[in-house]
Amino acid sequence: MSGTERNGDTATLSGAEILIRALTDQGVEVIFGYPGGAVLPIYDALFAQNSIRHILVRQEGGAVHAAEGYARATGKPGVVLVTSGPGATNAVTGLTDAMMDSIPIVCLTGQVASHLIGNDAFQEADTIGITRPCTKHNYLVQDTDEMGRIVHEAFYVATNGRPGPVVIDLPKDICVNQGRYEKPDLANLRHKTYRPPTVGKAESVAAAVEMMARAKRPIFYTGGGLINSGPEACARLQELVRLTGFPITNTLMGLGAYPASDERFLGMLGMHGTYEANNAMHDCDVMICLGARFDDRITGRLDAFSPSSKKIHVDVDPSSINKNIRVDLPIIGDVGRVLEQMLACWKDGGYTPDEAALRDWWTTIQKWRSRDCLAFTQGPDIIKPQYAVQRLYELTKDLDTYITTEVGQHQMWAAQFYKFEKPNRWMTSGGLGTMGYGLPAAVGVQIAHPNSLVVDISGEASFMMNVQELSTAMQYKLPLKIFILNNRWMGMVRQWQQLMHGSRFSETYSEALPDFVKLAECFGATGMVIEQPSELDASIRKMLDTDGLVIADVRVAQEENCFPMVPSGAAHNEMILGDDGAAERPKVTGEGMALV
């Protein structure tokens, strides 16, 4: 295999060199990775070139989250390079996260030499077997001549159709051996069998527009598919909402697809969504679901989900259709393309919405809105976490800001109180709910946007999960602002224990926390503690004005719960509201307790 005598005019290169060439041809600018024995030839090839920048993380899990942050903030695929065995297994959480949230990732994993595979060699793991269920597809390269084709195919698969993570497992000998590489015609690259859908069926689009025009109580329910489809898709969504005058709600993954400041936006829906969004979803007569997947955080109890509506579902992945909720009109296609078709159909057909019915619908919605479900009372002594996010928003909204989060209460408060006007500004772990996502994701975002403000809204428990990535941020002088809502609890778990497990707070206290100021200082960063509501604004300004990385340890009310909340097992319009009397609260059933 390793001979250099080959026919044809293409020069032979080592597998590692072919890999780097193919990545360069794909326009890859950044790789997040961590070296090791099996990937030494690749690191050698990286050393010999200047077109691709390598960002050295501190643990491979961080590399995948950083690549996810990079991908979400740019719309480009994120690229990861890790070694065999533990390098690959550490990447699994990030791969699963990217799979659940449909993030395009190409993850290159080292592997022991071909002849050692299956022999329990040092740092060998069955990476293909382990990553099969948590990737969109994976490849084991078995021939150096195949390297180039597989790399390009992997990018095609990761970025076309419903995006997702793709693993390429690279045995060490394949990277050392010589092979041929020719740059393919990337614009016309087609997969042998994989044909992702693009446009929707014209008659289905026409039927959908017809339904929309006749709707009395319509709602747009839009998700992360809009972000994945791109800024044009989001612009088309805005146009369609403006033309129809329908209310719109976004999922957690869809925040930013529609400007939050617009009066037609009802806020996020779902388990911690707004009263008006969830009630409008429940009572609507036509639901237009665009690039969302009727996730269990959205639907609540399935048999009580929006019982009287006709449902239109636009999704690029046919397996999302009728998975949880039976819909009346499925449209398979890229949501941006389908929106383009819908707009054309609406305009060409001279359709108008039912204005009278819409007026009544909006009156009903205003009634729900006036319930002011996100209200909280900020006293003089202790900072409410909602207030902290609200002030952060007010002081950063006019800046070029990107927000990442970890997972838990702080994440939901960020989703509720930080208002996103544009797509790609909000990076969070939705489907998998991976604590420790936010800090490495922020690293990826800041690498992509070095001059922008990147804030990781964090919780003290989540922050500790990938705290080692502070070192990465320091190495590349990334001026991240880490805004820890520190309530000294694993807050969301504590909240569930309080509401569903008789306040038996089993193992959820954040014991033995570090002094975050000293922690920042020991890495060479700046730390600050914010304790008084009265000093919050000044402290946030100081954080923003400080050069370099800052950790702000915001001491917030410890027992604060995140409301509204649809308890598990309840219908999506049965919400616990923050200032409810206990009598009004939906009962948590035994069945609900068994649900996550």
Partner 1 sequence: MSELSKIAPKHTIAVLVDNEPGVLARVVGLFSGRGYNIESLTVAEVDAGRDRSRINIVTSGNEMIIDQIRAQLERLIPVCRVVDLTEDGPSVERELALVKVVAQGENRIEALRVADIFRARAVDSTLNSFVFEVTGDSGKINAFIDLMQPLGLAEISRTGVVAIARGADAM
Selected binder of partner 1 within 157, 209, 212, 448 (CB under 8 A) = 157
CB of 335 to partner 1, least distance (A): 17
Give the total of residues touching partner 1 (CB under 8 A): 19
* Residue placing its CB nearer to partner 1 in the complex, 53 or 191: 191
Pairing of the two strands 310-315 and 248-250: unpaired
Closer residue to partner 1 (CB): 157 or 211: 157
Task: Let me know if 384 is a catalytic residue.
Answer: no
Catalytic residue among 17, 26, 59, 60: 60
> Whose Cβ is closer to partner 1: residue 332's or residue 482's?
332
Q: Strand ranges (DSSP E) for 465-558?
A: 481-486, 526-530, 550-555
> Which residues, in sequence order, are CB contacts of 524 under 8 Å at separation 6+?
474
Please choose, from the candidates 65, 167, 106, 135, the residue with its C-alpha nearest in 3D space to the C-alpha of residue 427. Answer: 65
Footprint on residues 325-344 left by partner 1 (CB under 8 A): 326
Q: What is the DSSP string of 374-426?
A: T-----SSSB-HHHHHHHHHHHHTTS-EEEEE-SSHHHHHHHHHSPP-STTSE
211 assigned to active site: no
Query: Has 397 been annotated as catalytic?
Result: no
Provide the pairing of β-strand 481-486 with 310-315.
unpaired
* Whether residue 123 lies in the annotated active site: yes
- Cβ-contact 175, 140 below 8 angstroms: no
Q: Considering only residues 356-415, where is the footprint of partner 1 by CB under 8 A?
A: none
DSSP state of 364: H
CB atoms within 10 A of CB 399: 11
Cα 563 from Cα 573, distance rounded (Å): 13
C-beta closer to partner 1: residue 280 or 316: 316
CA separation for the pair 516, 161 (Å, rounded): 43
Is residue 585 part of the contact set for partner 1 (CB under 8 A)? no
Using CA atoms, how far residue 178 sits from 1, 115, 150, 373, in Å, is: 7, 17, 16, 64
Q: 1, 49, 122, 421: which is the annotated catalytic residue? A: 122
Tell me the C-alpha distance between 151 and 409, whole Å: 39
**Per the structure block, which two tokens stand in for 139?**
């490849």
- The one segment of 59-67, 124-132, 453-461, 557-565 that binds partner 1 by CB under 8 A: 124-132
Catalytic annotation, pick one of 29, 76, 123, 378? 123
Stretch that binds partner 1, among 26-34, 51-59, 132-140, 414-422 (CB under 8 A): 132-140
Contact partners, residue 69, CB within 8 Å, separation at least 6: 78, 404, 427, 440, 441, 442, 443, 444, 445, 448
Does residue 129 touch partner 1 according to CB under 8 A?
A: yes
Is 117 a binder of partner 1 (CB under 8 A)?
no
Tell me whether residue 192 or residue 504 sits nearer to partner 1 (CB atom). 192
Nearer to partner 1, 323 or 542 (CB): 323
Fill in the per-residue mask, 286 to 325: x = in contact with partner 1 (CB under 8 A), - = not in contact: -------------------------------xxx-xxx--
Residue of 100, 492, 543, 565 marked active site: 492
Residues that bind partner 1 (CB under 8 A): 128-129, 132-133, 136-137, 140, 157, 191-194, 317-319, 321-323, 326
What positions carry a catalytic annotation? 60, 122-123, 172, 492
